Amino acid sequence: MKHLLSRVVCQNSDEKQKALVELQNVCSQCRACDLCKTRACTVFSDGRADAPIMLIGDAPGPDEDAAGKPFVGRAGQLLNTFLTESGIDREKDVYICNTIKCKTPQNRIPTNEEKRACQVYLFGQIAIVKPKIILLCGTTALQSFVDDDIKITEVRGKWLNIFDDIEVMAISHPSYLLRQHSQEPNTPRWFMKKDLEKVKAELDTLVT
């Protein structure tokens, strides 16, 4: 799938937006796996087609399934706080989507089959948006790009060598951080802040 990325060429943000709408329309009719039977709607994306950062979460939850937008629930609100505190503007800088576009029953982890069924949309989004930075937010997102046995705690905050021309970093999922309250050094929330500061510093060197 990765080799397809260079084949999609959108010259400007209007072309990107148009291509994304076409892909979203196809996605909204998708019946490639059984999740189509239990979703209210597909949750495709939020944010600008020409954003420099693409944040990829795991899967929509019930709030996102109802709203049709990713990261609108409590986890999304915490994510917004972290982004804002690190100087990253969600509306201007970030295109947000998920690894899979349909909610899973009882919020369970998506199966490999479900991830595979959705790959065409995720890789389509990457190919169209062509972000400068990808943030893999959570285990499902991370393990869609690296081996299944790599844990987020081992690699979060490091630049990963996945694409030639896109910087990739794994970050903790805000749902996990909702259960971690300490702000002390070397705790999960502290690491999230440091990781996003690193992303912001990189963003500033890439976008003039």
Name the burial class of residue 8, with classes exposed (0-12), middle (13-18) and buried (19+) by CB atoms within 10 angstroms of its CB.
middle
> With binding defined as CB under 6 A, does residue 145 bind ligand URA?
no
183: its two tokens: 């702000």
Of 57, 77, 64, which Cα lies nearest the Cα of 138? 57
Minimum Å distance from CB 99 to ligand URA?
Answer: 8
**Per rule CB under 6 A, is residue 59 in the interface with ligand URA?**
yes
**Shortest distance in whole angstroms from residue 82 CB to ligand URA:** 14
Span interacting with ligand URA, options 20-28, 63-71, 119-127, 146-154, rule CB under 6 A = 63-71
Site for ligand URA in 119-138 (CB under 6 A): 138
Minimum Å gap between C-beta 3 and ligand URA is 27
| Closer by beta carbon to ligand URA, 61 or else 131 | 61
Least Å distance, CB 69 to ligand URA, is 8
Q: Which of 104, 128, 111, 100 is nearest to 30 (CA)?
A: 100
- Cα 153 to Cα 189: distance, rounded to the nearest angstrom: 13
- Six-digit token string for 170: 């794994």
